[in-house]
Amino acid sequence: MNAYNFPQPAGRPSVHIVLSDKGWILERLAKEIADRLPYVTYGLAPDPSAAIQYYVTYGCRNARVSPIEIALFTHREEDAGAGARFDAVAREVDHAVSMSSGTARLIEALGVAQHSCIMPGVDLDMFHPRLKIAVVGRTYHTGRKGEALVSAVMDVPDIEWHFTGPSWPGPAEHVADEDLPDFYRSMDYILVPALNEGGPMSVLEALASGVQVIASTVGWVPDFPHIPFERGNAASLRQVLMNLRAERMKLRASVEHMTWDNWAAQHDELFRKLIATLGGTVVAPMAGLRRVGRVALVTHGIEDTTLGGPSVRVPNTARALRALNVDASVIYNRGRDMASADIVHGFNIWLPKTAVAVAREAKRLAKPLIFSPIMLDLSEGPLWQTDALRTFRQARTPEEADALMRWHGEIQCERERLHPPVEPEPGYHDMVREIADLSDGLIFLSEAERRVFRRTVGETDTPEFLVRNPVDAAYFSGGNPDLFRDAYGLRDYVLCIGRIEPRKNQLMLVSALAGTGLPVVLVGHGAHAEYADLVKRFGGPELLMIDRIDPGSEMLRSAIAGARVFALPSWAEGAPLAALEAAAAGANMVLSDRSGEREYFGTQARYCDPADMSSIRRSVLQAWETPLDAVQARMLAERVAEEYAWERHARETLDAYEDVLARQHPILSAPDDDPAPPAPRQPVDIILDVTTWANNSTTLSGIVRVERSIALELLEQADLRLRFVMYLSSTTGFVELPHEVIENDLVSVYVGQLKARDLGERSTLRLPHGGDLIAVGSSWMQNADYSLELKQLAQDNALTLSVLMHDMTPALFPRWYLAGYSTTWEQNCAEMIANADRLLVYSESTRNDVTAFALAHDIVPPVIGKIRLADELGTLDTATTDEGEQARRLFGNRSFILSVGGIHLRKNYALLYDVWQILREEMGDACPHLVIVGGVLERWRAGSGDAR
């Protein structure tokens, strides 16, 4: 028995934290301790079985319930009664904990001997210094605005760059004049990088907004307060930025010791000391706790057949994690190991459909998900995927190609200024956003990649981590150059390693160096046959193309060691492994200025514009003429070995795992434990209304096809309890359709039989209460009875009603429809929105239109969710028809333009016809034919709209 005559708790001594209130900072204080210490629990009520009762705060303590009692004291109230309560509890508890030195002095003044001061923590990953710097204004073709200067310093860490005009080295933001004051006030500094100025106005506007200006002595800058740097000098500007960052980091350093780990560790020490007075011990110390036991590293898409970066990096990451005692396994496309993992780590946003499938599976299994997007900036894709090929097909000489590429480059700038970026495949942006939303953490290889990701999906609440790409530096630092030289008869050469494909930009490289006399060696498989042929054509006699050298082989090490210059002027990269391998060997490097290369190598490499042959030529020639000396090469190799080591990469990746799990769970199973299998997912009750399909089963287009496709897809889902219903008539109401009717596409036959039987009496459906009733068709649009019956069906069976709104066109453009159609449609639409528990749309535009419609009709809209439409085309019917055969005969050997859709005013075929007429006038007989496939449901209306 102890001094208070309480029985000792059975089992291990424990600590219970009693909260004054939940959902506030007090719960965070308790949770950060409980997440790290497995013997600690917390809640609103005391736990008499605990050895220690810890009151957070002192105000919630009443009578003693545990052998040892502790209380947290935040501050002493001015009110006499509250102050007396503070004093009394401080004297009564066995140990008083204050969270500031001021409160500690108050407790000490009360004569309390047993007290500690433990300060709470701050999440240093979440709260990190970041300078917001804006460059305001446009650029000019002369370069006088200093865009090259900005590009040279964008690798300074912890800076968030903003640009209000095009052609700066970062994405442009359009800021309206009326929003400029708020924009200025949201920045920490305004940078004026210009080399020659009369003003600029941004100096006056920034200072008027109370924002500091960083500028050189251009224009009227010397007349006003500013932070100076030497005009045009990147090193001087870099020093200014580093000094400003250092000021922020100094502030951060003042609280870096106040981590949540430290908060928990100090409590751990206190709890152990107090429990020892009872003669007890607790579980293993905090330092030995680790949440990550098993990790599933998941690849997908074409990674099983294409030996790209992820296919090399992921297995090596698993090996490095296993060296840290993590049970890491590599799986492809949602293998069974995902179910037994503590955390799932997906790699590569491409291919997006298979990437999002991995993310969805992880969430279905209720697994924490970290995703490494390895995302490329494809904004210049049209330039290097299409324009470059077109250019080099036409060009007869490298000089002609250079001129044409400059012209295409100007068009690309205009394209980026006038149009949003083109998705690399339909639905790409939505799929990337979904992966971001499903992920519990995102790991980026560079700040450049992070910027591209944010530009695509916007800001997210998903925690982000920066973990640099690694390399086996020791292996590549000792290559023997003679092996490659003897095999290929070359001594000094320019080396480029990578698949022969447009993104790697070998064609611009060999064309830029044509006529210089420099031998060029390209090592890589010809992934693009036409591109490889063009490389050979423009490379000339000095070009040597080697199809492939095994990764990590002695010959590859030798090729890198013997190169006078290593060049990789890619259009888009993640963090190229080839460049890291070359840097580990101390190579003399020329790299692209587009992605994150400058972040990795800083001033220890040269950089070129991949779109500019003269830039590539100039950089390579400079590197050729002034190679790195032995000291410079050694410094580069040592830096790479230290900063990009596999062990460091694995530890930082493991830290990210731990961080994500700490945010979600207390302590997961230890590595040697056999985790319990995930609880089976409970089947969901879905009732799908197929009324539109049932009444239009021979017209499989538009909304009918959507309803049919959803029905057939739902049948494939094993974890659903699925029912199908349709509205037969106002007399009968809704009836149920058997699965066999849907599966075998017998809807029209079955409905015909129902109508022939003339049921007469009212149908009474018994559907599972709490299920989901989903209506995706158009039956409500002109049938008010259907709308009311659908609402009644949902209410009678306690169903959640979800309605898909395809578009709001009848309300937006009523003149496109027959008289009276839009009026009825609006009345029924308002009824459906008011009755639905959830609305579904498949575009942001429709979501906005629905919201506006609801507000205009004084309706509070329900939750509006966005879904994607038509992920898969499916198999198209290949049966022949007379019309099809006639078209084949007519157009078999002719070019034609095809447009598919019902003949209706809202389809705007008149515009298409007008454009085609213009083409016909310009091209004559060479003009392609115009073929429109679609039914004319409203012949008079369609004809009267445009007699043509």
Neighbour order of strands in the sheet with 733-737: 733-737, 720-729, 684-689, 772-775, 800-804, 838-841, 863-866
Examine domains 473-644 and 684-866 and report if their fold is the same.
yes
Rounded CA-CA distance 457/472 in Å is 33
Q: How confident is the model at residue 889 (pLDDT cuts 50, 70, 90)?
A: confident
Q: How confident is the model at residue 817 (pLDDT cuts 50, 70, 90)?
A: confident
> Using the 8-state DSSP alphabet, how is residue 384 labeled?
I
Paired tokens of 762: 């009212």
What pLDDT score does 810 carry? 93
Q: Are 216 and 230 spatial neighbours (Cβ–Cβ below 8 Å)?
A: yes
Rounded CA-CA distance 460/632 in Å is 41
Q: Are 118 and 263 spatial neighbours (Cβ–Cβ below 8 Å)?
A: yes
Q: How confident is the model at residue 940 (pLDDT cuts 50, 70, 90)?
A: very low
- As a whole number, mean pLDDT of residues 232-254 equals 92
pLDDT value at 557 more than 70: yes
Higher per-residue pLDDT: 366 or 501? 501
Q: Are 726 and 687 spatial neighbours (Cβ–Cβ below 8 Å)?
A: no
pLDDT value at 520 more than 80: yes
**pLDDT (tens digit per residue) in 612-668:** 999 999 999 999 999 999 999 999 999 999 999 999 999 999 999 999 988 875 433
DSSP 442-511: EEES-HHHHHHHHHHH---SS-EEE-PPP--HHHHTT--HHHHHHHHT-SS-EEEES-BSGGGTHHHHHH
What pLDDT score does 304 carry? 59
Paired tokens of 225: 């307060």
What pLDDT score does 365 carry? 84
CATH class of 131-253: alpha beta
CATH class of 684-866: alpha beta
Amino acid present at 280: G
pLDDT value at 191 more than 90: yes
Rounded CA-CA distance 367/293 in Å is 13
- As a whole number, mean pLDDT of residues 542-547 equals 94
Rounded CA-CA distance 810/807 in Å is 8
**pLDDT (tens digit per residue) in 101-148:** 999 999 999 999 999 999 999 887 678 888 999 999 988 878 889 988
What pLDDT score does 760 carry? 67
Rounded CA-CA distance 733/726 in Å is 8
What pLDDT score does 403 carry? 93
| H or E element that contains 688 | strand 684-689
Q: How confident is the model at residue 253 (pLDDT cuts 50, 70, 90)?
A: confident
Rounded CA-CA distance 310/577 in Å is 10
Topology, domain 290-378+423-466 = UDP-N-acetylmuramoyl-L-alanine:D-glutamate ligase (3.40.1190)
pLDDT value at 269 more than 80: yes
Paired tokens of 948: 């043509």
Tokens 């959830």, located at residue = 838
Higher per-residue pLDDT: 903 or 600? 600
**pLDDT (tens digit per residue) in 280-324:** 655 444 444 456 888 999 998 876 555 556 777 899 999 999 988
> Using the 8-state DSSP alphabet, how is residue 902 labeled?
-
- As a whole number, mean pLDDT of residues 432-446 equals 95
Q: Are 588 and 636 spatial neighbours (Cβ–Cβ below 8 Å)?
A: no
Of 353-367, 850-864, 929-943, where does mean pLDDT reach its minimum? Answer: 929-943
Tell whether omega for the bond before 164 is within 30 degrees of 0, i.e. cis: no
Paired tokens of 707: 């309803």
Rounded CA-CA distance 501/522 in Å is 11
The yes/no answer on whether domain 15-121+258-287 falls in CATH 3.50.50.60 is no
Give percent above pLDDT 90 in the chain: 55
Q: Are 573 and 597 spatial neighbours (Cβ–Cβ below 8 Å)?
A: yes
Domain residue spans in the chain?
15-121+258-287, 131-253, 290-378+423-466, 381-418, 473-644, 684-866, 882-945
- Dump strand ranges (E) for 148-258: 159-163, 189-192, 212-215, 227-228
- On average, the pLDDT of the chain sits at 87
Orientation of helix 577-584 relative to helix 309-322, angle to 10°: 60
Q: Are 73 and 90 spatial neighbours (Cβ–Cβ below 8 Å)?
A: yes
Can you give the pTM of this predicted structure?
0.50
Which among 512, 480, 479, 483 is positioned nearest to 496, based on CA atoms? 512
Rounded CA-CA distance 833/853 in Å is 10
Rounded CA-CA distance 30/32 in Å is 6
What pLDDT score does 695 carry? 86
Instruction: List, in sequence order, every residue forming a beta bridge with 525; answer none if it has no partner.
Output: none
What pLDDT score does 571 carry? 95
What pLDDT score does 593 carry? 94
CATH class of 473-644: alpha beta
Give percent above pLDDT 70 in the chain: 91
CA distances from 720 to 549, 682, 714, 741, 851 (A): 51, 9, 8, 18, 31
Rounded CA-CA distance 297/83 in Å is 56
Q: How confident is the model at residue 948 (pLDDT cuts 50, 70, 90)?
A: very low
pLDDT value at 676 more than 60: no
Rounded CA-CA distance 98/266 in Å is 12
- As a whole number, mean pLDDT of residues 903-924 equals 81
Q: How confident is the model at residue 738 (pLDDT cuts 50, 70, 90)?
A: very high
pLDDT value at 696 more than 90: no
**pLDDT (tens digit per residue) in 462-477:** 999 999 999 999 999 8
What pLDDT score does 904 carry? 72
pLDDT value at 250 more than 80: yes
